[in-house]
């Protein structure tokens, strides 16, 4: 199917964008409540954003092609008489990527008269018919029409950029508001986490955290036929645990003579000591959880709320094996984890790059999170085996336990 005749002349682009924003609100409200509660919030936002984002077409000037020249006849009027003349018809094919509908909408500002052409799902077709056989004349005529279309697309892009920015702000707000309303209607409150309590003697600790006690769980969506609350570790407690591990990592990196003598198990024990000094709860090594052992496990009563895997780098396969092992531990109660990678090699940056690539290559990888400014922590979102809707937040913490040099 082709759109023939004048381009950018059907109706106002701004009216189309305004109606899209109205449809967006309706689309969020129309989501099935159970689906919305059970779908990870980031996935719901991404799905809606992808559905409503508009991509203004971009012409592929390098991929322009031409159909064989067609010869025919036409009629011209001269001094009141009609003459039959030979004419050439040239059809230029310009590939494009983007939303076809933009070619039918009038941007602001707009061009009058609008450019002419035919649009298919993959290309713009420009047809020139005339008597001239001068190549340069015909080329200039076609180039002028391409320039006109490009100018209209640039105007449309300026209009659409504001719309795309707006939906990226509105969609998360609408999704979060509706999710909160659904939870409130069921007497639940999301993201409360585990309330924490300061120790009375917290000021005596020199480490940068106060010892905390985890009391009661938050809730997260399940993947059953209907929504059911499930416990999760509060984000603040997760961040505090990671800060303890990062602080311990910094101490080890500053003490190469100590780190050189430690194997994986002894390093793990030091990390457990640091965690236990800060949290009122239990942190232990080699604790069974679901189907295997784990290196670091923070437990609250019968709930496993933080799992960390400690591994020395032995090549890229280390990352794949560690992820398989860690994700195998996780049950519906577990949503937060960490991979602590110990590197003794001097080529630390190269190894971290390889490790990050292997993390993203894992079949359970969903998306990257943030990376701190020094590259000391990299966040990821994975999913448990067989269920993309059950997300696992994973922090990757590389430790550079460099070997001692001659001057050390």
CB half-sphere exposure, 278, CA atoms < 13 A: 23
Where is average pLDDT lowest: 28-37, 253-262, 334-343, 351-360? 253-262
- Tell me what pLDDT residue 151 has: 96
Where is average pLDDT lowest: 14-28, 29-43, 297-311? 297-311
Contacts of 54 (CB under 8 A, 6+ apart): 17, 20, 99, 102, 160, 163, 164
pLDDT band for position 206 (50/70/90)?
very low
Q: In this predicted model, which residue has the larger pLDDT, 348 or 10?
A: 348
Q: What is the pTM of this model?
A: 0.62
Q: In this predicted model, which residue has the larger pLDDT, 80 or 46?
A: 46
Strands (E), 21-175: 58-59, 65-66, 70-78, 81-97, 105-106, 118-119, 123-130
Using the predicted structure, report yes or no on whether residue 209 has a pLDDT greater than 50: no
Containing 274, the helix (H) or strand (E) segment is helix 264-276
Contacts of 343 (CB under 8 A, 6+ apart): 312, 313, 351, 352, 398, 399, 400, 401
pLDDT band for position 218 (50/70/90)?
very low
Q: In this predicted model, which residue has the larger pLDDT, 142 or 56?
A: 56
Distance CA(218)–CA(192), nearest Å, equals: 5
Using the predicted structure, report yes or no on whether residue 255 has a pLDDT greater than 90: no
- Tell me what pLDDT residue 254 has: 85
- Mean pLDDT over 327-335 rounds to 70
Using the predicted structure, report yes or no on whether residue 108 has a pLDDT greater than 50: yes
- In this structure, are strands 212-213 and 287-288 parallel, antiparallel, or unpaired? unpaired
Q: Tokens representing 362?
A: 């894992």
Using the predicted structure, report yes or no on whether residue 315 has a pLDDT greater than 90: yes
Containing 389, the helix (H) or strand (E) segment is strand 387-400
Q: Is the peptide bond before 113 cis (omega within 30 degrees of 0)?
A: yes
Contact present, 149 and 117 (Cβ < 8 Å): yes
Distance CA(271)–CA(265), nearest Å, equals: 10
- Mean pLDDT over 177-189 rounds to 79
The structural domains of the chain, with segments of one domain joined by +, span 11-183, 195-400
163-167, 182-186, 272-276, 324-328: which is most confident: 163-167
Mean pLDDT, the chain, rounded, equals 80
- Mean pLDDT over 11-26 rounds to 92
Contacts of 29 (CB under 8 A, 6+ apart): 178
Contact present, 271 and 340 (Cβ < 8 Å): yes
Per-residue model confidence as pLDDT tens digits over 332-388: 656 789 999 999 888 899 999 999 999 999 999 999 998 887 788 999 999 888 788
Using the predicted structure, report yes or no on whether residue 18 has a pLDDT greater than 50: yes
Per-residue model confidence as pLDDT tens digits over 132-182: 677 788 888 889 999 999 999 999 999 999 999 999 999 999 999 998 888
Please state, as a whole number, how many other Cβ atoms lie within 10 Å of the Cβ of residue 329.
21
- Tell me what pLDDT residue 299 has: 63
- Mean pLDDT over 287-292 rounds to 55
Contacts of 126 (CB under 8 A, 6+ apart): 91, 92, 94, 116, 117, 118, 142, 145, 146
- Mean pLDDT over 78-93 rounds to 76
Using the predicted structure, report yes or no on whether residue 293 has a pLDDT greater than 60: yes
- Tell me what pLDDT residue 279 has: 67
Q: In this predicted model, which residue has the larger pLDDT, 13 or 70?
A: 13
Q: What is the percentage of the chain residues whose pLDDT exceeds 70?
A: 75
């Amino acid at each position: 199917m082709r759109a023939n005749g004048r381009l950018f002349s059907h109706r106002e682009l701004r009216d189309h964008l305004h109606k899209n924003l109205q449809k967006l609100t309706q689309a969020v409200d129309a989501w099935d409540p159970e689906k919305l509660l059970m779908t990870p919030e980031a996935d719901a936002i991404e799905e809606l954003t992808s559905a409503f984002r508009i991509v203004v077409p971009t012409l592929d000037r390098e991929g322009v092609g031409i159909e064989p020249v067609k010869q025919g006849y036409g009629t011209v009027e001269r001094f009141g008489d009609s003459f039959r003349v030979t004419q050439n018809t040239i059809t230029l094919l310009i590939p494009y990527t983007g939303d076809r509908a933009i070619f039918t909408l009038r941007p602001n500002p707009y061009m009058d008269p609008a450019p002419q052409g035919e649009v298919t799902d993959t290309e713009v077709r420009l047809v020139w018919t005339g008597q001239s056989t001068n190549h340069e004349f015909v080329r200039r005529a076609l180039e002028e029409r391409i320039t006109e279309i490009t100018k209209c697309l640039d105007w449309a892009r300026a209009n659409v950029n504001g719309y795309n920015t707006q939906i990226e702000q509105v969609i998360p707000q609408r999704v979060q508001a509706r999710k909160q309303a659904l939870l409130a209607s069921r007497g639940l409150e999301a993201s409360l986490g585990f309330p924490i309590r300061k120790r009375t003697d917290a000021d005596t600790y020199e480490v940068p955290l106060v010892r905390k006690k985890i009391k009661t769980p938050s809730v997260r969506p399940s993947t059953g036929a209907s929504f059911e609350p499930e416990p999760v570790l509060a984000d603040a407690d997760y961040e505090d645990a990671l800060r303890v591990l990062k602080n311990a990592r910094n101490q080890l990196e500053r003490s190469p003579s100590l780190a050189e003598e430690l194997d994986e198990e002894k390093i793990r024990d030091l990390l457990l000591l640091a965690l236990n000094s800060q949290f009122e709860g239990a942190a232990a090594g080699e604790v069974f959880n679901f189907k295997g052992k784990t290196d670091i496990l923070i437990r609250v009563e019968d709930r496993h709320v933080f799992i960390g895997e400690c591994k020395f780098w032995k090549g890229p396969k280390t990352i794949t094996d560690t992820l398989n092992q860690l994700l195998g531990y996780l049950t519906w109660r577990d949503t937060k984890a960490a991979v602590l990678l110990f590197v003794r090699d001097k080529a630390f940056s190269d190894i971290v790059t390889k490790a990050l690539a292997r993390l993203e290559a894992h079949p359970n990888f969903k998306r990257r999170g943030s990376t701190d400014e020094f590259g000391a922590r990299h966040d990821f979102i994975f999913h448990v085996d067989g269920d993309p809707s059950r997300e696992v937040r994973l922090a990757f913490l590389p430790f550079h336990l460099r070997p001692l040099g001659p001057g050390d």
